A and B are shown apart, each in its own frame.
Chain A
């Protein structure tokens, strides 16, 4: 079998870049709205240390609505920083979707303005 070495190299590199870390949690009814939001964060010395978000990031982009999905991704560069600092400095990017707001259901009434 002919093996395409440049191809293998590219593929292996892309696996490294894309597969450093990803952790996702989503609502069971999964009703995300709008475009994906991204938030860069750095944790220094874990929960006992400092975080660029203090005790947590407030997703003001959602205007008070819930979160539909949160994904924490760490790419190759962020992984290397974590590695060379023995995990003391741990950068990541948090991607999230806001939950779609519930709109009042229709009423059985004749009161709505021509509709």
Chain B
């Protein structure tokens, strides 16, 4: 084996580390950069083993220095879930991808012929944008089923924190994963699959030197692991045949009619997903949307709504996806929204107007057709935004929205909008999408004190109303140990048990523990 020491470098950090969106800072000691081998070998067992060795070398060094360690990709999360006062291990350069061959699949794999054609082995640092581009190519003709609104995250980071979309009847991004290669400390490595959903013959795990574990509870713990089980180095995902989406957005009842409102008709659609009940959202040809997202502006009176609908269409062989970012034009700089946010803390009366302008800028009503990777690309490359969520069972959706509007009336106006999304239940133990149809309100907008006060008020308000709820781990959340216990019950206990089973050495558990985990009781 070549001398790969140069694949790992240590960069001490003199100033606090910031996440990608600059919403959090952490006093880290430094970053271990893990580089793909310089001789650029194809991604396979040998390459994985070379990378594993360097990641575990970084873990051993961190441990010897008394540092805690967290894996980092793009640092896309808006919460401090990746933060540490020790070392970050940057895996964003490790982005190997390859399809699984038929003869590698376990005979007990429950997927049909199409599913067997769509299994991909992906290295932790592959960006969602890279995965889209690779699998949507003519050579492979596959697609993700869902993803978040943007695609700059790594597969490991996005899935470990619960990134989701709003594809109807479909789960979150982490629900694509069916096998996990976990580095549980500086010497152990596991290949995890569900016993109820075996995927690969043992040859791959043997080639990696990983211990195979087929166990539903352990897999369901690690797949939403929040970085607490060690470092996820590779995953296998299931994909679907590629398709096109016809995207339409509406903000008016007719093309020239009045603005869509959060009125009785809209409330019915939001709660029942009965699109035929609404004159504007009814499909002309009777088809049901693949994706649905109403965005409510709580600062208009009555609240106005902008609706995004996407319909599945067959792939057009003449369609050439364009993944380039749009050319820039005169517009706000990076700190513009932060300064506007401070301004709005002082002049709250300006919030409704700014919200209207922001919505008009951010949401185009121009129809567009494209692949999943085209439509869910980078919106803006980097901006400081405020973002939180609350997720509830669908039958509590309207009650929840009314409470959020009430919070805004009490402490606002806050420069935020409510994006309503729908996510199918996940078997992952700590998944935010744990209700049969999980109704997620993504509360996004300008980062300022009023927005943060709004986020603080969400959990107590929903709790007081007796609505079961969860929150996005990767966004600003109000989780405490008691709230995590209330939200996840026995699954929370099972998650902690799984951590003890896979990391039996207290020193290894301590290695992957951070303040975020301690504040939420995840370290027990």
A8 to B323, CA, bound (A): 42
Known contacts A103-B36, A106-B98, A112-B42; is A14 also within 8 Å of B342 by CB? yes
Closest 6 CB pairs of A and B: A114-B207, A112-B44, A106-B98, A7-B346, A18-B335, A113-B45
Partner of A104, one of B42, B343, B378: B42
A38 CB, nearest partner CB in chain B, Å: 8
Q: Kindly report which residue of chain A lies nearest to residue B339, judged by CB atoms.
A: A15
B75 part of interface (Cβ distance < 8 Å): yes
Q: Are A35 and B31 neighbours in the complex by a CB distance under 8 Å?
A: yes
A31-B127 contact in complex given A8-B346, A101-B93, A113-B45, C-beta closer than 8 Å: yes
- Category for how many chain A residues contact B: 35 or more
**B96 near A115: Cβ-Cβ < 8 Å:** no
Find out whether the CB atom of A100 lies under 8 angstroms from the CB atom of B121.
no
- Kindly state the separation between the CA atoms of A67 and B263 in the bound complex, as whole angstroms: 50
**Contact stretch, chosen from A21-29, A39-47, A49-57, A81-89:** A21-29
Distance in Å: Cβ of A63 to nearest Cβ of chain B: 7
**A35 in contact with B203 (CB, 8 Å):** no
Could you tell me if A114 and B342 are in contact, using CB atoms closer than 8 angstroms? no
Give per-residue flags for B261-287: 1 if the beta carbon is below 8 A from chain A beta carbons, else 0: 000000000000000000000000000
Which positions 1-37 of chain A face chain B at CB distance < 8 Å? 1, 3-4, 7-8, 10-11, 14-15, 18-19, 22, 24, 26, 28-31, 33-36
B92/A29 in contact, CB under 8 A: no
Chain A residue nearest to B377 (CB atoms) is: A30
Contact A106 B93 (CB under 8 A): no
The answer to whether B101 touches A104, judged by C-beta atoms less than 8 angstroms apart, is: no
Interface presence of A48 (CB below 8 A)? no
Q: What mask results when residues 482 to 493 of chain B are scored 1 for a CB within 8 Å of chain A, else 0?
A: 000000000000
In the bound complex, residues from chain B placing their C-beta under 8 Å from that of A106 are 42-43, 97-99
Given contacts A19-B339, A114-B206, contact A29 B42 (CB under 8 A): no
Q: Which B residues touch A34, using CB under 8 A? A: 31, 33, 90, 92-93
Instruction: Report Cα–Cα, A107/B99, bound state, in Å.
Output: 9
Can you name the residue of chain A whose Cβ is closest to the Cβ of B203?
Answer: A114
**Contact among A33, A36, A113 with B93 in the assembled complex (CB-CB below 8 Å):** A33
Chain B interface residue bracket vs A: 35 or more
Q: Which residue of A lies closest to B49 (CB)?
A: A113
Task: Give me 20 other A-B pairs in contact (C-beta within 8 A), A15-B339, A26-B325 excluded.
Answer: A11-B346, A18-B339, A22-B333, A29-B324, A29-B325, A30-B381, A31-B129, A34-B92, A35-B17, A35-B90, A69-B381, A100-B93, A101-B40, A103-B36, A103-B40, A103-B43, A104-B41, A107-B42, A113-B46, A115-B204
A33 touches B333 (CB 8 A): no
Question: What residues on A are CB-neighbors of B409 within 8 Å?
Answer: none
Complex Cα–Cα for A31 and B345 (A)? 35
B95 within 8 A of A: yes
B-side contacts of A105, CB under 8 Å: 134
Binary interface profile of B, 77-107, with partner A (CB < 8 Å = 1, else 0)? Answer: 0000000000010101101111101001000
Residue interface bits B333-374, CB-to-A below 8 A is 1, else 0: 111001100110111010000000000000000000000000
Please state if A28 and B325 are interface contacts (CB–CB under 8 Å): yes
Mask of B13-30 contacts with A, CB within 8 angstroms, 1/0: 000011000000000000
Q: Which residue from chain A places its CB closest to the CB of B333 in the assembled complex? A: A22
